[in-house]
Structure 1
Amino acid sequence: MDVAGQHASEVRHLIDDATMNRFLAKIVFFSSGGSFLDGYVLSIIGVALVQLSSALSLSDAEVAATGAAALAGIFFGSLAGGRLTDALGRRTMFILDVVAIGLASLAACFVAEAWQLIALRLLLGFFIGADYPIATSLIAEFAPRRERAVAMGVVSGSWYLGATAAAFVGFGLYSVTDGWRWMLGSALVPCVVLLIGRHDIPESPRWLAQRGQVDKAREVLNRVFGEGVELEEEEPVRAGFGSVFRQGYLGRVVYLGLLILCQVVPMYAMYTFGPRIMAAFSLGEGSLAILGESVVSLFFLVGTVPAMFWLNSLGRRPLLIGSLALMAVGLLIPGLWPEAHLAVIMIAFGLYAFFSGGPGILQWLYPNEMFPTEVRATAVGVAIAISRIGVVVSTYGLPLFLDAYGIGPTMLAGAGLLLAALVLSVFMAPETRGLTLSEASSLSEKGNSHG
């Protein structure tokens, strides 16, 4: 459909070929704030657990449940949020989930028993999971094709920035009495900032067009891009939850779920139980172990910057395969040689974290490129949910596995997952560089190329 009206005398072009402007940059920035919150909320618990384990007299099982609760919430939140986002629109959920995250974070300051903390972490995870499909589908549907990888790079980088900020905030509050309460409640601050920044971000014009709201889609396009920008012609389609499992898309959603699972299980282990892992490598206890985790977190963040440009210059598929191989090497070294000098261990972790940049971006970019507008958010939610099944189990089991088998086998298990993702990607990873969203999500040979 022509959502921009009749062609005028001026040159017109598709939204995929538009240029970046200040308002579009604002959309990307504040949409990425949900990813920042995600990284912050999920990572601050790893630092807070150092104090609150004794403060609340948590057992090993309760520590594991506290770490896994948010991830379990993400499973349900990503499924529900994805479906609601496709049904009700991106913007409605865009505001509600940040309000809920802020209130749950504030409530966490006042917990007195383990079950209260676990329940709040479950609730936090639900709304964090909902933000995955909301924010990334909104960004993908606004971003021109040349800027899509960079825009999703900002999303991925925001996660690592939030995680890094959490590590340093935790380090600063570690010596404060009941510092863990301030750590858990501190997420309220970025929530307030996000609500202010998100209040005037409009609905996705692609979603409006799919719903037949042509005039509103035209208004949004003119507001964000100015005159002369239009969407590709698409027939309005109403699709249910089961549409992401139909022939063609089923293989894509299963691949993405398994890819993200293998990639994020080691990463979440590093962030949720980072100080404990660092202590296992003789980095010491308490603040020194937290500082070690903070350094590794910086490598995650720094690696995102070149990766967002390599995704365009090298392509999605080659960068993914090469990065997974180097990430696996980064975990194999401490797995096979856990008694190595601390410098060797930190270099290995740095290698793993730095090259996580490309796959970290692709966990957001691939699902949004490989599915059409009518089910885009649903597909993101399903892929994330599949991955979180494994993440919940592994996060709950990690401290138990670590106690039973030691740090070496724990690192080897993480390396094994990355090698599995590598083999899977060699056979199934598509190349979507340079394609419009319609081309990338098509089931035709061009839209599903491995070349």
Structure 2
Amino acid sequence: MTGTDEQGLSGANSPLLAPSDSSPDYGGNSDENLTSELQYSGGWFIWALTFSAGISGLLFGYDTGVISSTLVTVGSDLSNRPLTTLDKSLVTSCTSLFALIASPLTGVLADKLGRRKVILGADALFALGALVQAFTSQVWGMILGRSIVGLAVGSASAVTPLYISELAPSHARGRLVTILSLFITGGQVVAYIVGWLFSTTPGGWRWIVGIGAFPAFFQLVILAFLPETPRWLVQAGLDARAKTVLKKIYQDCPGRDRVVDRLVRVISGEIDQEASEMGQPKSRGTKPQWLHDTLQRGQQLLHGGNRRALIIAMMLQAVQQLCGFNSLMYFSATIFASLSFSSPTLTSLSVAMTNFIFTLLAFILIDKVGRRRILLYSIPIMVFALIVCAFSFSSIDGTWNSQTPTRHAETQGSHSSFVPLAILFCLTVYTAAYALGLGNVPWQQSELFPLNVRSLGSALATATNWGSNFIIGLTFLPMMEFLSPSWTFALYALVCMAGWVAVWAIYPEMSGLGLEEVKGLLAHGWGVKESLQRRQNSRYV
């Protein structure tokens, strides 16, 4: 048993315990109270908030996963003709395109209106988009509905991790944000189950897309009981309301009142310091000149530690999508139909379940193993699985055709009948490794940014995610047809290799650091060596 297991983080030599120069003193038992804050994982209130906000992730996952079964069951119900490759690519990629448009705007609105109100707006868009899809009879109507859902997904994916990370105690932040990923992957599992249940029902695809409206209406109701984040409230000059929320979050923490007072003073000090750096008066609580402030924050993002934080966040989000994973979420049923699986939607469910199970494992491991290490271990497994998958596809490259995805099993030899199982196994291993690392870690992006640029930085990183997602959704089927499946998956493997090198070079370990501590870590460099030393010290104190 290490010193961490026996004593927590109470050692005097731990860099994590050294209060910053701007941090106010508690009084008599500052070390004891600071240690209790660092170790505190949250009571029922923070977990209830996280699960309530996580419904946005459920909607996010459902609406990205549902398209897979829809594409293979819609038949000729839209515009009275079968969907072409262009139709499928546009219906799939328009969601990502409009998510790309929404995510940077969400960052501005989250600063102006608050995180909670943006989540409410996203719920309304989720419900509207689902209903438009369910009742349309034209391809353009489906594209419109998917575009509205894209606005909702872009908003929710940008602001919900921000909302949870600003509420979470630092010791549990990784796990609480990972709960959002659990909801996302759980939503994808539900989408595949619903798709399978309605796959043989005439017009069943309308139920598949329309059911997504129900969780949105449910979250709209419970939003009335969700508070705004303390950090946004302090920034708005509402310190008393911020203290009320923090007291509920830290209700079981020893020395709660002094912990809350310290957090409010630290956040206030950070806001005032950042306002001073931007050449602004200390005017918390006054009506913000939001356009002017947003432009200034954009300039702040391009300098020093903020620029390094943005590069890291955008790099992780780009690799998460360009590695090709969402091609499985969007087109897995199409892939498995082309490989002559008797129930492509049910086969796709095995991939979605793997994603969910290993996301649950990531929830257990992410704060223990660390963000950086879990990426460095999992990405090579993804590379291996993609390369084997590419070789497996090489024997059937000439048979791929997304327009006629079903083939008769009797036309295949004994060797080719083994190939689909090999591909399924490789994609399952790839999914497991992805869920452990790249599926979760990039969404910890909010912890990289200081408060004054946190929502804008997170929004730009999320926009990178959706821009990359748009590229994958638009190009996957054409690449499979014109480059061949082997080269398509080989290119995804190359992206993973490049991502591993980037993580090794510039991504520091953030586990266990408070949101206000990360700013100092990136102030004068990438902070990789310093972060690893801090983690080493905290383990053996």
**Taking structure 1 as the reference length, what is the TM-score of the superposition?**
0.92
Task: Tell me, in whole angstroms, the C-alpha distance in 2 between the residues paired with 1:305 and 1:279.
Answer: 28
Match of 2:172 among 136, 147, 150: 147
Compared with structure 1, are the counterparts of its residues 82 and 64 closer, same or farther at alpha carbon in structure 2 (3 Å cutoff)?
same
Distance in 2 separating the partners of 1:389 and 1:354: 24
Q: Given the alignment of the two structures, is residue 280 of structure 1 paired with residue 325 of structure 2, yes or no?
A: no
* Partner of residue 321, structure 1: 376
Amino acid at match of 2:61: G
Matched, 1:298 2:353: yes
CA–CA separation in structure 1 for the residues paired with 2:48 and 2:222: 8
Larger gyration radius, structure 1 or structure 2: 2
C-alpha deviation, 1:358, in angstroms: 2.1
1:207 alignment partner, one of 219, 232, 240: 232
Unaligned runs of 5+ in 2: 1-20, 276-292, 396-417, 533-541
More displaced stretch, 334-343 vs 207-216: 334-343
Equivalent residues of 1:86, 1:376 under 8 A apart: no
Partners in 2 of 1:387 and 1:6 — Cα distance? 41
Matches of 2:427 and 2:510, distance apart in 1: 30
Aligned AA (1:278):
F
* Alignment of 1:422 onto 2:457: no
Correspondence for 1:260 among 309, 313, 317? 317
Q: Report 1:23-172 matches (<5 A).
A: 23-56=45-78, 57=81, 58-172=83-197
Q: C-alpha displacement at 1:312, in angstroms?
A: 2.1
Counterpart of 2:442? 363
| CA distance 1:249–1:3, change in 2 (3 Å) | closer
- Aligned residues of 2:98 and 2:151 also touching (Cα < 8 A): yes
Aligned amino acid, residue 325 of structure 2 = M
Contact in 2 for aligned 1:441/1:447 (Cα 8 Å): no
Aligned with 1:249 (options 306, 313, 330): 306
In 2, Cα distance between the equivalents of 1:259 and 1:364? 9
Q: 1:85-127 deviations in whole A, cap 9, x for unaligned?
A: 1222111112121122112211211112111211221121112
Secondary structure of the equivalent of 1:431? Answer: coil
| 221-230 or 266-275: bigger deviation | 221-230
Q: Does 1:235 align with 2:238?
A: no
Are residues 1:390 and 2:468 paired? yes
Q: Which runs of 5+ in 1 are unaligned?
A: none
Alignment length, in residue pairs? 447
Distance change >3 Å, CA 42–CA 108, structure 1 → 2: same
What CA deviation, in whole Å up to 9, does each residue of 1:266-307 have, x standing for no partner?
1211011111122333424xxx11111110111111111222
Worse-superposed segment, 271-280 or 10-19: 10-19
Are residues 1:224 and 2:246 paired?
A: no
Distance 1:224 1:329, change over 3 A: same
Q: Could you say what secondary structure the match of 1:61 adopts?
A: helix
Q: What is the deviation of 1:431?
A: 0.8
Q: Is 2:473 aligned against 1:448?
A: no
**Counterpart code for 2:321:** V
Between 199-208 and 385-394, the greater mean CA deviation after superposition:
385-394
Aligned equivalent of 1:407: 485
The RMSD of aligned alpha carbons is 2.5
2:329 to 239, 253, 271: 271
Partner Cα separation in structure 2 for residue 3 and residue 203 of structure 1: 24
Q: Is the 8 A contact 1:3 1:209 kept in 2?
A: no
Q: Which AA in structure 2 matches 1:398?
A: F
Give the C-alpha shift of residue 445 in structure 1. Answer: 5.5
Q: Mark the CA change 1:321 to 1:327 in structure 2 (over 3 Å): closer, same or farther.
A: same
Greater shift in the superposed pair: 137-146 or 338-347: 338-347
Partners in 1 of 2:200 and 2:24 — Cα distance? 58
Change beyond 3 A, Cα 1:370–1:92: same
Alpha-carbon distance in structure 2 between the residues aligned to 1:118 and 1:368: 31
Note if contact 1:102-1:187 (Cα within 8 Å) is conserved in structure 2: yes
**C-alpha deviation, 1:5, in angstroms:** 13
CA distance in structure 2 between the partners assigned to 1:2 and 1:30 by the alignment: 34
Partner amino acid for 1:201? L
Separation in structure 2 between the aligned mates of residue 360 and residue 96 of structure 1, nearest angstrom: 25
TM-score using structure 2 length: 0.77
Question: 1:292 is matched by which residue type in structure 2?
Answer: T
Q: Which amino acid aligns with 2:528?
A: S
Q: How many Å separate the matches in 1 of 2:431 and 2:386? A: 10
Contact conserved, 2:58 with 2:184, CA < 8 A, in 1? yes
CA contact (8 A) 1:262 1:418 kept: yes
Mapped to 2, the partners of 1:434 and 1:447 lie a distance apart of 17
- Report if aligned partners of 1:156, 1:304 keep a CA contact under 8 Å in 2: yes
**Cα deviation digits, residues 31-60 of structure 1 (max 9, x gap):** 111111111001111211112253222322
Contact 2:230 2:243 (8 Å CA) reproduced: yes
Q: Which amino acid aligns with 1:276?
A: T
AA at the equivalent of 2:303: R
**Hey, what's the Cα distance between the residues in 2 that align with 1:391 and 1:330?**
21
Matched-pair contact (CA < 8 Å) for 2:321–2:472: no
The separation in 2 between residues aligned to 1:377 and 1:147, in whole angstroms, is 20
State the Cα distance separating 1:447 from its structure 2 match. 8.1
Inter-partner Cα distance in structure 2 for 1:204 and 1:415: 39
- Tell me the CA shift for residue 424 of structure 1: 1.3
SS at match of 1:70: helix
Return the alpha-carbon distance in structure 1 between the equivalents of residues 225 and 39 of structure 2.
Answer: 24
